[in-house]
Amino acid sequence: MTRLRGLAIAVLTFAMFMDLMDVTIVNVALPAIRDDLDASPSQLEWLIGGYVLAFAGVLITAGRLGDRYGRQRVFIVGIVGFTLASLTASLAQNGETLVGSRVGQGLFAGLMVPQVLASVQALYKPRERAPIFAIIGVITALAAVIGPVLGGWLVTSNPFGGGWRAIFFINVPVGIVIAIAAIAFVPNTKAERPSPLDPLGVLLAVGGILLLVYPLVEGRQLGWPVWSFVLMALSPVVLLAFVLNERRHDADGAMMPLRLFTDRGFTGGIAIQFLFQGSITSFFLILALYVQTGLGFSAIASGALTLPFSLGAMLAAGVAAALVSRLGRILPAVGGVLITIGTAWTIQVLRSEGTSYSAWDSVIPMAIAGIGLTVMLVPLLDIALATVDTRDSGAASGVLGTFQQVGGALGVAVTGVIFFDAAGRYSQPELLHALSLAAWVPIIGYALAAASAALLPRLDVVKEHLASLDTEDAEPAIA
């Protein structure tokens, strides 16, 4: 049973890695896509923002779908759809088709990710989950930083003869293998008493987020027409309606149970994930645009720039996992401080070196930032989900992932407004100025994430709760 559980989680987490990596893998290909498809700045933003926004929109109910229809079944629908959307993206002949394909990728990726966390909740006893969540935390961290490296290599080496199209086509054979493995190894666990679906809640949540993100992305290019401000003003109204709708359904199974937000660990985890994802997604976006467009780096050189970040993250993974049981919430705070320092230092190096900058100049600060990323993320899932009731596991994983991806969408939207507005005619000095201004978004975001660690419960509180659950050995419902 242990080996089969391990195989199931391995399949699920590998798919999760691919889904999350696809957020950043596009960054290094943006200049090539812009030149080949004559894509506008807003379309470039939508290639990132559209993916994460669609991801967030379906996450909010995908956990509930898995609870009701079976996590394996929903996962397989997701991986098949993601593979087909990747194939469509690799064949796109214009910016509109590519953006639509990216939205499709995000939708189907959003179906998959909640099934990973909910399956861990279903297949493992509370005390067994800590190392699994630590591994998932490391995978989440590495996905964000390996994407640019792999994307740069694929664009430059051109293995399939299509240039940037390779970053999408590579998902096709991988997706087929994952789908077959999921059928063979992943059990179709369900919730014993799944809560009803809430389509109105989905529409209100997605609508409220879209009313904010869409005008932020499109408004700058169109000269900030009146309608852009009207839509942004409507966003909080629609989101308030969503909260009221969830409160009305809280007793009979709300899509986003408001009782989850009374759990301090869960709320703290949401805050950190939201701020982290918005920061890292926006930072690597503007970094890739600056070094390729402003300094003339190739796609592979741009991707290699993040290697110290990746190595720092990997080297710190084992140490961070070992320290979770001793330091608890101190780890996310220290990690947030390290990634803030590393990011600010990297920007300062870029500013001081100007056109003479090389990737070697930022090895140390990028490595520090990578270490901070892992130290911050490794303990998060274990702490955030440790005290969540099993009946809410699907909804909780969906809510956690939703806030993470909404953070990414808002980070891209806000940073894109600042960067493209200051970039002028894309000369090196103008782009450096744009980078310097826009970088404040991720720097402040990381700092706030570090401060949010104070919301997490003390280590003894989590240990006490887990100890109380050790007697709950109920087998998962498998269809």
Q: Are residues 119 and 223 in the same domain?
A: no
Where is the domain boundary, 208, 226, 248?
Answer: 248
Q: Across the chain, how many H-helices and E-strands are there?
A: 20, 2
pLDDT digits (tens, 9 = 90+) for 240-260: 999 898 888 776 667 777 888
Position 467 scores a pLDDT of: 64
Q: Are residues 179 and 262 in the same domain?
A: yes
The pTM of the full predicted model, rounded to 2 decimals, is: 0.82
Where is the domain boundary, 185, 213, 248?
Answer: 248
Ordered mean pLDDT values, 10 residues apiece, the chain (479 residues): 75 85 83 90 87 81 84 94 96 94 93 84 75 74 76 83 89 94 88 75 86 85 88 94 85 74 85 92 90 90 87 83 78 94 97 92 95 86 71 70 83 89 89 95 96 82 62 48
pLDDT digits (tens, 9 = 90+) for 297-337: 988 888 888 889 988 988 887 788 778 777 778 889 999 99
Position 475 scores a pLDDT of: 44
Q: What's the structural domain count of the chain?
A: 2
Instruction: Compute the Cα dihedral for 15, 273, 98, 27 and give only its sign.
Output: negative
Task: Supply the CATH number for residue 466's domain.
Answer: 1.20.1250.20
Q: Are residues 219 and 302 in the same domain?
A: no
Position 3 scores a pLDDT of: 63
Q: Are residues 66 and 95 in the same domain?
A: yes
User: How far apart (Å, rounded) are the C-alpha atoms in residues 155 and 152?
Assistant: 5
Position 96 scores a pLDDT of: 93
**Domain span at residue 244?**
199-248
Position 390 scores a pLDDT of: 65
Q: Are residues 269 and 386 in the same domain?
A: yes
Q: Are residues 291 and 387 in the same domain?
A: yes
User: How far apart (Å, rounded) are the C-alpha atoms in residues 302 and 359?
Assistant: 9
Residue pair 324/381 in contact by the 8 Å Cβ criterion = no
